[in-house]
Amino acid sequence: MALDEAAAVADTGATEFDAVVIGAGPVGLFAVFELGLVDIKTCVIDILDRPGGQCAELYPEKPIYDIPALPTVTGQELTDRLMEQIKPFGAEFIFSERVDELQRGEDGRFHLKTDAGREIIAKVVVIAAGGGSFTPKRPPLDGIEAYEGKSVFYAVRRMEDLRGKDVLIVGGGDSALDWTLNLAPIANSLTLLHRRDEFRGAPHSVEKMRALVAEGRVRLLIGQVTKLDGADGQLEAVTVKTAGGEERVTANAMLPFFGLTMKLGPVASWGLNLNENLILVDTEKFETSEKGIFAVGDINLYPGKLKLILSGFHEAALMAQAAYKIVHPDKKLLFQYTTSSSSLQKKLGVK
Amino acid sequence: MVKLVFIQPDGDSQTVEAEPGVTVMEAAKLNDIAGIEAECGGACACATCHVYVDADWVEKTGKPEAIEEDMLDFAFDVRPESRLSCQIKVTPALDGLTLRVPAKQF
């Protein structure tokens, strides 16, 4: 088998792993640990550019009080500690990519594809995607959908596309400021619109932006967009509500930066049994309606489910036992404790 | 118990009772007030529990702190009376507090 399979893999350029964990939040990270203890090599994929999930994105500095044995720990500390704990297992991390496709191949394994076109093959898939993937917030302006991807962009893929345009950047954080600084030299005109004359972004970026405003190369406008004008996806102008009334601002490209929100995203199209935005699982293996695909943490649902990190840890431990039977079908798993098992300690690198 | 009045964009109003010490967001969620999403669960990290405090109450509820003001950057149609309801603690002094739910959360 090995040769044929290896050839097939080489053709598609896909990378193979025992398990893919979707989501690098605390539960996804702990899943790496539990899978590692039972000799399952994992790859973790997350749409954010760093581990931690909601802990890193929403409350890195906020204390969490209900992690067993840690009376208080911040989201960032918890993430750092989990990363340290799973280090011995050498998981592969893929950040800033979203898993878009998941289907079972003819060989029974799962074929995944990310939004960057990366292909991965795995024997088991563990969905630990929390509240879903973090996606840019869409301003709830009438008809904005029609402009998205054509003249309203939530990320800049190619700066050149904005050369010579009348660019409107909306927001007051680092993304808004950074793109103001980057695009001012190539845009025909650049307006930075923010609801107040105070910015959350890095102070040196704020200074640079103000310098550009003073030189007349950037227009800073204080107000909020209320209406979009254009046709066929091409923005022509926006109406802005300011302290002094209303103003029409000419713009043929708008970049709104209003932070991130969580959306279930492509998970909904993978053919799993869902209840609203949650994946139904059993409470023995935390397996979904598809054998070999598991769901742990906030994204799953079962009778009595509590959306707690500690519940996700428990789910990950039981999931790993079931995943073992799929990844190593011919082996018998001996239940062991890390305290006393020399083989587990060896895996953990205990000296 | 403290009475809180939520007014929907269509004018519909709902009066709920809240225990002092909870946040206005928690009281809204406990009573299924439409339009209060509170995606982050009260961490002042998402701006989806945005409300407009009725003019008569703005003084009693006070001004947002810096972190809340920053997070209001992520809300839609922010006005001087905008607050994130997870950052308003219910106290007996707020009995009768009237809040308008915005037409849209982000």
pLDDT in tens, B65-94: 999 999 999 999 999 999 999 999 999 999
Mean pLDDT of chain A: 94
| CATH numbers and ranges of domains, chain B | 2-100 (3.10.20.30)
Which chain B residues touch A262 with a CB distance below 8 Å? 39
Distance between CA atoms of residues A159 and A187, nearest Å: 10
With contact defined as beta carbons under 8 Å apart, do B43 and A62 qualify?
yes
Average pLDDT over residues A325-330: 96
In a 13 Å sphere around the CA of A155, the CA atoms on its Cβ side amount to 7
Distance between CA atoms of residues B83 and A198, nearest Å: 17
A131/B contact by beta carbon, under 8 A:
yes
With contact defined as beta carbons under 8 Å apart, do A35 and A42 qualify?
yes
Preferred mutation among A55, A59, A66, A137 to probe B, highest tally of B CBs within 10 A = A137
pLDDT in tens, A47-96: 999 999 999 888 888 899 999 999 999 999 999 999 999 999 999 999 99
- The CATH architecture one would assign to domain A2-135+261-347 is 3-Layer(bba) Sandwich (3.50)
Question: What does each C-alpha distance from A130 to A309, A310, A351 come to in angstroms?
Answer: 10, 13, 35
Distance between CA atoms of residues A320 and A40, nearest Å: 8
What pLDDT score was predicted for residue A282? 98
Distance between CA atoms of residues B78 and B52, nearest Å: 9
What pLDDT score was predicted for residue A12? 55
CB proximity list for A184: less than 8 A, separation 6 or greater: A190, A212, A217, A218
Under CATH, domain A138-255 is a member of which superfamily? FAD/NAD(P)-binding domain (3.50.50.60)
Task: Flag if B106 and A195 touch (Cβ within 8 Å).
Answer: no
B46 or A295: which carries more pLDDT confidence?
A295
Which chain A residues touch B65 with a CB distance below 8 Å? none
Indicate where chain A has its CATH 3.50.50.60 domain(s). Answer: 2-135+261-347, 138-255
CA distance, residue A140 to nearest chain B CA (Å): 6
pLDDT in tens, B37-72: 998 889 898 899 999 999 999 999 999 999 999 999
